[in-house]
Amino acid sequence: MELVTIEWKNNRLVLLDQTKLPNQISYVTMHTVQDVWIAINTMIVRGAPAIGVTAAYGAYVGIQNVEDNVDKLKEKLQEITQYLATSRPTAVNLFWALNRMKDKGLSIKTSDVLTFKNLLLEEAKAIHQEDIAINRSIGEYLLTLLNDGQGVLTHCNAGALATTKYGTATAPFYLAKEKGINLKVFADETRPRFQGAMLTAFELYHAGIDVTLITDNMAATIMSQGKVQAVIVGCDRVAANGDVANKIGTLGVAILAKHYNIPFYVATPTPTIDLDCPSGAEIPIEERHSSEVLKPTGQFVAPQDVKIYNPAFDVTPAHLVSAIITEKGIIEHPCEEKIRAIFHK
């Protein structure tokens, strides 16, 4: 069973509703740009690359039915991209995709409205297709770092559901399966939203990949038992100096990996690298609603009025990262010079 996260179908943007997984497979159609904003904000669609692709289509959805001349549509496009940029703060793919759509729109020379709209839709489709190729390439590079029979720990969901195919951190697992290489994946459940349990375990299990779900507090134990030879995570933003923002809990896993001398790899499409952000200290970290911690499955698990702190992401410093794996190649022991150089490949 292959689940399609994002689809352009019958001239409409259709999203798999990830808030309903693993119990229900249902799709929602985006009719307006407000629908797209809500889908990103409420995590119907989530994961940095998937957010970027959705936002790209969202920019088109916002002008799709507007009857006006091209100059006015260009103004509208700028408003829409600004609006969608407020949907979530951390994953830089959102801003990258919106800027690309805006730049494309503003550079179009035609005065024909239909041509203008079609060119914008083509740009969104190009971003979508590029994501698939990027992930496959990341998977090929990551596979060169792994050996048959190894155990790999992953945190959160940087899987097919967080992208448009293969995932980033999970790409080597899908490719290993294609090539008959046996990897044993361990998925952290990833509190408070349980992306590891509800999404990673779900998608890998259904793909026939050897996956074992653990609670977040079991990572040290499986490392100490020698069950894990590598950690692979995705990311929401990599700063110019190689600091990495990813789902809350990633930092703890990186520290554990260092302690047990296990390589810690970060799967990173180049659109997730933010060269304008000097270090992790400047990455905006989203704080989400207290109910995610207080009522993780709908029932209160703590006193209703207890104080809650719920940052959705953390920053792993570059010195804990063994390598960043991009679609253009592997950056070992990342630093600013090496990260900038990858863009010239």
Binding residues: 46-48, 88, 195, 246-247
Residue nearest to ligand MRU (CB): 234
The binder of ligand MRU chosen from 195, 241, 316, 322 (CB under 6 A): 195
- 200 binding ligand MRU? (CB under 6 A): no
Q: What angle do CA 90, 325, 176 make, to 5 degrees?
A: 115
Which residues, 6 or more positions from 268, have their beta carbon under 8 angstroms from its beta carbon? 138, 168, 234, 235, 238, 244, 324, 325, 326
Footprint of ligand MRU on 273-312 (CB under 6 A): 312
By the 10 Å C-beta count (0-12 exposed, 13-18 middle, 19+ buried), 212 is classed as middle
Q: How far is the CB of 178 from ligand MRU (least distance, A)?
A: 19
Q: Is 216 annotated as catalytic?
A: no
C-alpha separations of 217 from 20, 106, 188, 208, 242 in Å: 25, 49, 8, 26, 26
Q: How far is the CB of 313 from ligand MRU (least distance, A)?
A: 6
- 49 binding ligand MRU? (CB under 6 A): yes
Comparing C-alpha atoms, which of 294, 200, 204 is closest to residue 247? Answer: 200
* Contact stretch for ligand MRU (CB under 6 A) within 45-53, 62-70, 119-127, 317-325: 45-53
Q: Find out whether 83 and 34 touch, Cβ atoms under 8 Å.
A: no
Chain Cα centroid distance, residue 198: 15
Q: Is the dihedral angle over the CA atoms 171, 133, 345, 120 positive or is it negative?
A: negative
For residues 176 and 253, which CB has a smaller minimum distance to ligand MRU in the complex? 253
Q: How far is the CB of 248 from ligand MRU (least distance, A)?
A: 8
* Contact stretch for ligand MRU (CB under 6 A) within 41-49, 74-82, 102-110, 201-209: 41-49
The residues binding ligand MRU (CB under 6 A) are: 46-49, 91, 156, 158, 162-163, 167-168, 195, 234-236, 246-247, 312
